[in-house]
Structure 1
Amino acid sequence: MKRITAFLTLFLVMALASCKSDKNVGENPFFAEWNTPYGVPPFDRMTPAHFLPALERGMSLHDAEIDAITSDNDAPTFENVILAYDDSGQMLAQTELIFGMLCAAENTAEMQALQEQVMPMLAAHADKILLNEKLFERVKAVYDRRAALELDADQSRLLEKTYRGFVRAGALLDAEQKARLKAINGELSLASVKFGQNILAENNNYTLMLESSDLDGISANVRDQAREKAEAMGKKGKYAFTLHKPSLIPFLTYSQKRELREEIYKAYLNRCNNGDEYDNKQLINDFIRLRTEKAHLLGYPSYADYVVDDEMAGTTDAVYKLLNEIWTPALESAKGELAEMEELFKKDHPDGEFASWDWWYYAEKVRKQKYQLEEEQLRPYFSLENVQSGIFFLANRLYGITFRPIVVPLYHPDAIAYEVLDADESHLGVLYFDYFPRDGKSQGAWCGNYVEQTYKDGRRVAPVVSIVCNFTRPTSSAPALLTLDETETLFHEFGHALHFLFHDVKYRGLTEVEGDFVELPSQLMENWAFDPEVLKQYAVHYRSNEVIPAYLVEKLRRSELFNQGFMTTELIAAALSDMDIHSISEYEPFDPMEFERKALTEKRGLIPQIEPRYRYPYFSHIFDGGYSAGYYFYTWAEVLDKDVFEAFRESGDLFNKRIADDFRRKILARGGSEDGMAMYRDFRGKDPDKRAMLRSRGLWNEPEPVDSLAGSPEPAEGFRVKAVPEN
């Protein structure tokens, strides 16, 4: 997701519409000031009939605001062009935010039809403005005189970003090229909708319905989840397992029925690759054909070159250099992990061959054997309520902020809301949580805004932020008990939320940061998730109220590099496949699955026991999200987040308030007010160092000098890596 999370940028530009566009317009909540607590959206008064009229009025108002800029007879100035442009389109932007978020979290067949209707409209509207010759002429006139304008730092940054945004959108193209670019953008907008809808359908259409005799190895809590899911589907006495991660991963980890593990994992891997109405392979061809043509129109050899040119990395060479330096040792580490698992596998299947659907099951056996640790031992200590308390504790310890439950309109009964209070108890913002899977909700987890932080009449407008997840649901016999991965995910998304909540940006055009910087605040928070001091605060047994015992904490610490080869390999495999497909410079029709095989297996030696984290037909990040040619963002930002955490380590206090305050003021509060690397250097006092990231993944062999990622896009050189992590 790229300006808001692991998984949401598409939805920032999605909106819903309604064929009943003229009905109940007088009651439309978007046409009046919201008299709601804390300025949250009036979800209780919103219906689909309101959406299209609001979008239409928003576009009409935006057009009028742009016309006012272009028809102004006064000489172009920062105030009457750049500032006026920055202030324009606020109603439309607000409407898009809300409906984009709802479309991700609460989709229906009606909403899907409305998306298909409105996406091309929004793409055409954006193009009409960004390709407006009179508007760009006035923007360029201000930009050309920038040295003489005596602008402050924020004004200069806004001018630079505004001008560059127009150029990257095609403002320098001729009339014929602009017409073609508009057509491309319209086609891409519709392809994005169809791609995401197909994935949603495939996620919801598959169920593995089992008898109690099929559940050997499955824990009582997971059984209860499956039983209650089957009952909800009208299959009392059965057990339903789905492709949603809270159901899929426990089944792959514990089911002793190898043939069933194979069945459900193949269903997961083959989503949108079955030659039916939900098959995405032709859409993938359409994406690459259109994106490659778009890149050529804008003067770039490939779409990857176009994307990365606007990021911290700067060049695709820099991206590949970072990914390739990690790939080889990670793959070797994964092969070492596989060798350990194959010893156990051969005892169960002397004549069998280890397959990808065996990895979770035998990895858990290895963890139990090497560390005397099973995830099911830990889950009772990680109830959702306690983990949420843990992130609140951490935020208070670092930044002094507190959280107060509030009663406000909700868009779904599962959602809950909190007021966020700053250290001086002033209002900082509102934070929604929406934790559990349901039909109509996209997979994964993300964080986004319903209301962005802005300034109005000189006063800060506080943001309304939402964290959306797909976590294990509570059952009739137990609360929601999270896995370690789900726990870490909540810390991750909460880091995004803090980024939004701490925003104190003067201009709307300075809100966004580079894509390969956006994951820094989120990934940083993960570093505290299993710290012993933090665990003492929240890891409490849901029945006995016993704090997690020291011996389990020590086992967690000793196993921190467990399965890192696999996790790093599947992550980097996905990033490489994304870069490869978007580095195509001359499009010809192709089979995406064959392209993937050649890129990862033939070229780089990916072993068949590991699949990339995302295969092309369901790689939502890069086709209907904001991470096209950008899945590497997570890895690039990981260098930064581990280096930031080193600042806390080096201080001797992981809760150092001075460092946390510096991080808030110099990075979190500033949005995109400066280049990411400049903000990073201002905070850290130096370039980022790769060693902490490599060490955290078991890929660093001390000691040897290492370069940084540096201000230029060249990543570090000169480090040594080891093949298999030591325990």
Structure 2
Amino acid sequence: MTNPLLSTWNTPFEIAPFDLIKDEDFSPAFEAALAEDLAEVEAVATNADAPSFANTIEGLMKTGQALDRVAGAFYTVAGADSNPAREEIMREMSPKLAAHGSAIYGNKQLFARIQAVWDQRDSLDLSDEQQRVLMLTHRNFVRAGAALEGKADARMKEIKSRLAVLGTEFTQNLLADERDWFMPLAEADLEGLPDFAIAAARAAGEEKGQDGPVVTLSRSIIVPFLQFSPRRDLREKAFAAWTARGANGGDTDNRDIAAEILKLREERAQLLGYETFADYKLETEMAKTPDAVRGLLMDVWEPAKAQADKDAEVLTQMMHDDGINADLAPWDWRYYAEKRRKAEHDLDEALLKPYLQLDRMIEAQFACANRLFGLEFAPLKIPLYHEDCRAWEVTRNGEHVAVFIGDYFARGSKRSGAWCSAMRAQAKFPEVQAPVVINVCNFAKSEPALLSYDDARTLFHEFGHALHQMLSNVTYESVSGTSVARDFVELPSQLYEHWLEVPEVLQEFATHAETGEAMPAEMLEKVLGAANFDMGFATVEYVASALVDLAFHEGTAPTDPMAKQAEVLADLGMPAAITMRHATPHFAHVFAGDGYSSGYYSYMWSEVMDADAFAAFEEAGGAFDPEMAKSLEANILSMGGSVDAGELYERFRGRLPGVEALLKGRGLAA
């Protein structure tokens, strides 16, 4: 039988035929696609004609289309609906894909042609986007080691292969720890938990094959438990399991893996002539240098820690008033912070959550996109990889723009967190292709599905990434959508979060799950008034993670990352009752791949811009000002990486921002 992954996809919008694909199809499809891609690349490298932009740079961009299709389908299901067969395929393919990349970037004939085109760039009649694509292609090859020779070249290939294996192991170990642990709850243990948390715990119990409710390590389940359970012993047990992910000893322990990854990254950077991995990684980002990153993070750390220390005193007194004469612990913070929020803002998460229905919040994110950019969303009935997935066709003025897929609920087969990816990116070369974009989240499943305010913000955040993909309007896929500097990529996503806080949006879409009534004006005022509540805690746990990441990569690689982590936190004076948002053994942003390595600061760097960018709307005609929306699309969302990120922001705002808007937005300004 024909392998459906390698056949023509006669499906709506040429989406992967998930109803036909079997796990046993992936490996042979990968093998065939890898071989085809190498042959296509070799044809470019050995072209007898003199090197030109068309036959070399564009020629390279025509290669690998079958591989893109196979990888797009596989990694979608591998991340969001894994199983033992798919995990084995990941382990099998990681070193092969790394070797494949090394073969292309190490192809001396190919790099000689790219270098020749680069050398004559000033005499070529290239568009601005073509000049940018040429620069990025040449730079990517150089940074991948294409200019290395002999032993250095061979060692670089070994390092890349080993890093690919280690990143896969790190991810799968973390997934195993998250999937395997759960804490059964007796009926008496449900005391104090709101209805939505109980419903989520029961649903999780069913998913785990248990007779009763359970707490799992899904953030959407464990965080409400830590917020509401009066059982300090159970909170401590759950928190210990949550923070021990990847550090439980045995086959799924990630600590040695993290140490080896850091050492190999350092060696990789030094082979390319950089002193440290941070120097190598940050060269292509907006920040440029480790000093610039540290400067931003410390500007935020000081006021955030001061606020957190004040908050800790209040929460400690609340705990003592409960008759617990102990130090405030990390498993106490969320519980007493929730009680404080209810007391000071008269805002009860249990009363708020019924107004934040998932379906209504999806409608809200679509409605905002319609008002801002004229996009319309119509449900699609197409085969997808899991029954929980939903799809919509995105149009504007009757013209097809994209397909958008949402996969919103937590399950044991899905890695934690939330993300956006393009199963197919927008491009016009070698032919026009519209994007297929997916948002994956881990919300607790219930009927109806209810979100916390943080969940709703996550929903809008990931949809901001999706808009960056869907509104992309460039020629070449290599600079399409979110193919931008890592510390710029979070700008559209974090900026879109602001529309959740627009009062008229909540007034229309925050309706009660049972009564259908709109959120009362008094509650709406409390929600918006409490937007910065506990921001000292949130900022400290994030910035601590970013500073540890930077410390790992800006000097000699630590042989014991856990000791280095402890040293950094001690030097910072980390509050005892707050932990890093992502401790080393489960810091997937940094160790599952190179994406955010030495770059976890990017969320904060982007937040400096998003706070300033939304202020531009407020200074104009308001959140839905049509001229600002046009400018945002024209200068940022449609441009992808076709122009330097700093220049794009200046086109939109007229200047680069300072940290003041961020501190004001987080309520940390003096």
Q: Give the shorter-chain TM-score range.
A: over 0.9
- Match of 1:666? 635
Residue 564 of structure 1, aligned match among 529, 535, 538: 535
How far 1:451 sits from its partner (Å)? Answer: 1.4
Residue 90 (structure 1) aligned with residue 62 (structure 2): no
Residue pair 1:393, 1:537 contacting (<8 A) in 2 also = no
Residue pair 2:91, 2:168 contacting (<8 A) in 1 also = yes
Residue 37 of structure 1, aligned match among 1, 4, 12: 12
Residue 137 (structure 1) aligned with residue 112 (structure 2): yes
- Match of 1:618? 586
How far 1:225 sits from its partner (Å)? Answer: 2.2
Residue 678 (structure 1) aligned with residue 651 (structure 2): no
For residues 120-519 of structure 1, what are the structure 2 equivalents within 5 Å? 120-236=95-211, 238-422=212-396, 424-456=397-429, 458=431, 460-475=432-447, 479-511=448-480, 512-519=483-490
Distance 1:235 1:161, change over 3 A: closer
Residue pair 2:429, 2:475 contacting (<8 A) in 1 also = no
Deviations 1:610-646 (A, max 9, x none): 0010000000000004211110110000011111101
Give the letter for the 2:337 counterpart.
Answer: A
Distance 1:549 1:517, change over 3 A: same
Residue pair 1:430, 1:463 contacting (<8 A) in 2 also = yes
- Match of 1:692? 661
| Secondary structure, counterpart of 2:511 in structure 1 | coil
CA distance in structure 1 between the partners assigned to 2:501 and 2:477 by the alignment: 36
Residue 106 of structure 1, aligned match among 54, 62, 81: 81
CA distance in structure 1 between the partners assigned to 2:650 and 2:163 by the alignment: 37
CA distance in structure 2 between the partners assigned to 1:233 and 1:614 by the alignment: 25
Deviations 1:652-672 (A, max 9, x none): 321011111111121111111
| Secondary structure, counterpart of 2:501 in structure 1 | coil
Deviations 1:113-132 (A, max 9, x none): 11111110010010111011
Give the letter for the 1:547 counterpart.
Answer: A
CA distance in structure 2 between the partners assigned to 1:673 and 1:230 by the alignment: 48
How far 1:593 sits from its partner (Å)? Answer: 2.1
CA distance in structure 2 between the partners assigned to 1:370 and 1:233 by the alignment: 38
- Match of 1:537? 508
- Match of 1:11? none
Deviations 1:161-201 (A, max 9, x none): 11001100011212210100000001000001110111001
Residue pair 1:87, 1:508 contacting (<8 A) in 2 also = no
CA distance in structure 2 between the partners assigned to 1:529 and 1:372 by the alignment: 20
Give the letter for the 1:483 counterpart.
Answer: S
CA distance in structure 1 between the partners assigned to 2:580 and 2:20 by the alignment: 43
| Secondary structure, counterpart of 2:544 in structure 1 | helix
Residue pair 1:140, 1:163 contacting (<8 A) in 2 also = yes
CA distance in structure 1 between the partners assigned to 2:449 and 2:553 by the alignment: 40
Residue 635 of structure 1, aligned match among 592, 598, 604: 604
Q: How many residues align?
A: 667
RMSD of Structure 2 on Structure 1 (CA): 1.3
Distance 1:255 1:56, change over 3 A: same
Q: Which runs of 5+ in 2 are unaligned?
A: none
Distance 1:456 1:307, change over 3 A: closer
How far 1:374 sits from its partner (Å)? Answer: 1.0
How far 1:234 sits from its partner (Å)? Answer: 4.1
Residue 559 of structure 2, aligned match among 589, 592, 604: 589
CA distance in structure 2 between the partners assigned to 1:650 and 1:225 by the alignment: 42
Q: Which runs of 5+ in 1 are unaligned?
A: 1-23, 701-721, 723-727
How far 1:456 sits from its partner (Å)? Answer: 4.9
Give the letter for the 1:462 counterpart.
Answer: A
Greater Cα offset, 159-168 or 592-601: 592-601
Residue pair 1:570, 1:613 contacting (<8 A) in 2 also = yes
Distance 1:682 1:232, change over 3 A: closer
Give the letter for the 1:461 counterpart.
Answer: Q
CA distance in structure 1 between the partners assigned to 2:33 and 2:246 by the alignment: 35
Residue pair 1:524, 1:645 contacting (<8 A) in 2 also = yes
How far 1:530 sits from its partner (Å)? Answer: 2.1
Residue pair 2:319, 2:325 contacting (<8 A) in 1 also = no
Residue 522 (structure 1) aligned with residue 500 (structure 2): no
Give the letter for the 2:276 counterpart.
Answer: S
- Match of 1:554? 525
- Match of 2:576? 608
CA distance in structure 1 between the partners assigned to 2:558 and 2:470 by the alignment: 45
Q: TM-score, normalised by structure 1?
A: 0.90
CA distance in structure 2 between the partners assigned to 1:503 and 1:497 by the alignment: 10
CA distance in structure 2 between the partners assigned to 1:226 and 1:138 by the alignment: 59
Q: Percent identity?
A: 40
CA distance in structure 2 between the partners assigned to 1:467 and 1:47 by the alignment: 23
How far 1:257 sits from its partner (Å)? Answer: 0.5
For residues 709-720 of structure 1, what are the structure 2 equivalents within 5 Å? none
Distance 1:521 1:360, change over 3 A: same
CA distance in structure 2 between the partners assigned to 1:588 and 1:412 by the alignment: 41
Residue pair 2:380, 2:391 contacting (<8 A) in 1 also = yes
Residue pair 2:5, 2:16 contacting (<8 A) in 1 also = no
Deviations 1:526-575 (A, max 9, x none): 11112211111210111111111110111122212210000011010110
Residue pair 2:552, 2:558 contacting (<8 A) in 1 also = no
Distance 1:663 1:228, change over 3 A: closer
| Secondary structure, counterpart of 1:434 in structure 2 | strand
Q: Quick one: higher RCO (CA 8 Å, sep 6+), 1 or 2?
A: 1
How far 1:232 sits from its partner (Å)? Answer: 4.3
Residue 65 (structure 1) aligned with residue 40 (structure 2): yes
